[in-house]
Every structure is written in C-alpha cells, then in structure tokens.
Amino acid sequence: MMDDSICTKFIEDMKQYKTSQLSDMYGKSKRTIRRWKSECRGTIPAASSKRYDDFMVVEAERALVLGDVEVPCHHAGILEAACDVAQKYNTDTLIINGDFIALDSFSTWARSTACRAFFKEEIEPAYNILITFLKVFKRVCCVTGNHERRLAHRVEGEFTVGELFTMRTGVEFSEYAYCTLISGDKEILVVHQDNYSKQPLAVARELASIHHKNIIAGHTHHQAFGYDKSGKYWIVDGGCARDMEHTGYKKLRVNTFPMWNLGFTMVLHGQPYLINMDNLDLWLA
C-alpha cells in the first residue's frame, strides 16, 4: 500500500501523464503504477487478505533434496546414504520435499484396517531423525506434503506439524508445498505437488511447461531425469525414502501401480544428480 502523501501527489499526476511516463517519474514498474492507480482511485478497495508470496527461497551451490520419507515407515539405509553423500561432497543444505512424516495415525486407511498407528510412535522418531540431520547439515528446510496436512485437518487448523518440528528442533518449515532453490545460474522449483501419474516425469514435465523452471518433483515416489518439451528445462522425479516392506497398503494388496524408487537428488552448481542404492557405491567410492 502506498503512503498517503505520495498518493495525494500521484492522484494529480495521473490526471496528466500516461502510465509509461509515471513509471519513469516515480521509478516504478508499469505494473506497480497500474496498481497505484487502482488504489488511489478509491473506487475498488485493495485486497486486505493475506498475500501468498512468502514461500521459501533457498540459495545453495550444493544442496541435497530428499522427499517422501514418511517416518516411521522410512528406509533407514537411504537416509544414512543421504548423510554419507552430503558429508563426502561438502553439501550443507538439505531440502525435505514434503511428506517427511507419514501421519498414518490420522489416515482413513489406517483406521479402517488392523494396521493401527499412533501419533506418538510417529512424531518421536521424526524428531530424532531431524536432530540427526542437523548434525550433518547446517541448514534443513522442509516444505509441506499431503501427509503433513493430515494433522492440520484433524485439529481444524489450530496448529500444524511444521510448528511442532520448528519448536522442538529448529528446522525451517514452510506451510507451502514448494520452495525455490537457487543454485549456480539455475532457478529450481522443488515441489510436492498434488498430482500423481503412473508415468515417470509426466507430472514434472507439465509443471515445467506451466512454471518455466527446472523441476524437482515429489509425491510420485518415482525417480527419473529428463527434459521438458522445449528442451530448455531439466526435470526430475526425486524418488522416495519410504520402505515398501513397512507399508501395509503396498504389501497387503496387489494393483498395477508402479513400484517405488528409493533415492534422492543432489544438486551441484545447478545440475541434478540422482542417487539411489544401485549407484551409491560409485558416489561414495
């Protein structure tokens, strides 16, 4: 919102000058001038609700992106591997791309089966893993996945699991389902999107065409690398760290959904490298 004293002068100036001229006079973009015009006319009040532009921006030449851990159903081996790789390559920034905690204790599926889960059994190991990460990484950033939202839904928004993590461990937690990673000369959208596809990279490719950015996508539990249709942006499905052997709905039933890929993404100077249990020895050699 512009200052009242500026608004008074601006009202007089906008009667005489065009948008481009006002832009030069006030040193503002044309978009800002058009917004000022709307505010100063006073016919339509400016929006008074929250402006959703405070998403997390992470600047790091070396970063590790790990998603869909879903504690306490996590694969301890892939988490240990992530720590080992980070230490070997002096990577001090970790981005957890949603679904760090399963919160199956609040899922309809868990309540309707014999596989009962309890909140305390989920939150305590999650705290312990975050504390371990903070010993390896200088900065740990988390974005919100669909599993994290289960708690907020249950308590009708009174508090979120992210607030619990921040109070107990000091990690940086965002209620947004995405963040921007700046690495090298690349702007990378790290996102835990709502959409799912059986086809690896299908969702990431669409996201790149919409947002015109390099993409590291979560949620699908696939791991794959490719490019968008323009060939300008690289796209990644980041894999997961949830163990199928500890997941009832994968082991008790049979369907045509793809198997999951355990793995994570390391970003070095703007370039992604997919790491999994098959190539881990090469990276640590």
Q: Is residue 274 part of a domain?
A: yes
Q: Is 275 helix (H, G, I), strand (E, B) or coil?
A: strand
Q: In this predicted model, what pLDDT tens digit does every residue of 78-135 receive, in sequence order?
A: 999 999 999 999 999 999 999 999 998 887 765 555 566 788 889 999 999 999 999 9
Rounded to 5°, angle at Cα 151 from 242 and 192: 50
Largest pairwise CA distance in the chain: 74
Average pLDDT over residues 54-67: 97
Note whether 231 and 244 are within 8 A (CB).
Answer: no
What is the C-alpha to C-alpha distance for residues 106 and 112, in angstroms, rounded to an integer?
11
**pLDDT at site 39:** 77
Domain assignment present for 68 = yes
CB atoms within 10 A of CB 95: 29
Co-location of 254 and 175 in the same domain: yes
Structural domain span for residue 9: 4-41
Looking at the structure, do residues 67 and 30 belong to the same domain, yes or no?
A: no
Mean of all residue pLDDT scores within the chain: 91
- E strand or H helix at 273, and its extent? strand 271-276
Are 83 and 107 in the same domain? yes
- Could you tell me if 88 and 193 lie in one domain? yes
Q: Please enumerate in sequence order all residues whose Cβ is within 8 A of that of 230, keeping only pairs 6 or more positions apart, or say none.
A: 209
Residue 192 is predicted with a pLDDT of 98
Average pLDDT over residues 167-194: 96
Domain tally for the chain? 2
Q: Please give the Cα distance from 46 to 74 (Å, whole number).
A: 46
Positive or negative, the CA dihedral 36, 42, 43, 49 is positive
Residue 258, pLDDT above cutoff 80? yes
Tell whether 162 and 35 lie within a shared domain: no
Does residue 32 sit in the same domain as residue 98? no
Do 33 and 123 belong together in one domain?
no
Q: Do the domain assignments include residue 50?
A: no
Structure tokens at 70: 């879903």
Q: Above 80 in pLDDT, residue 219?
A: yes
Same domain for 233 and 160?
A: yes
- Tell whether 24 and 113 lie within a shared domain: no
Same domain for 140 and 25? no
Average the pLDDT over 54-68 and give the result. 97
If asked whether residues 110 and 185 sit together in one domain, one would say: yes
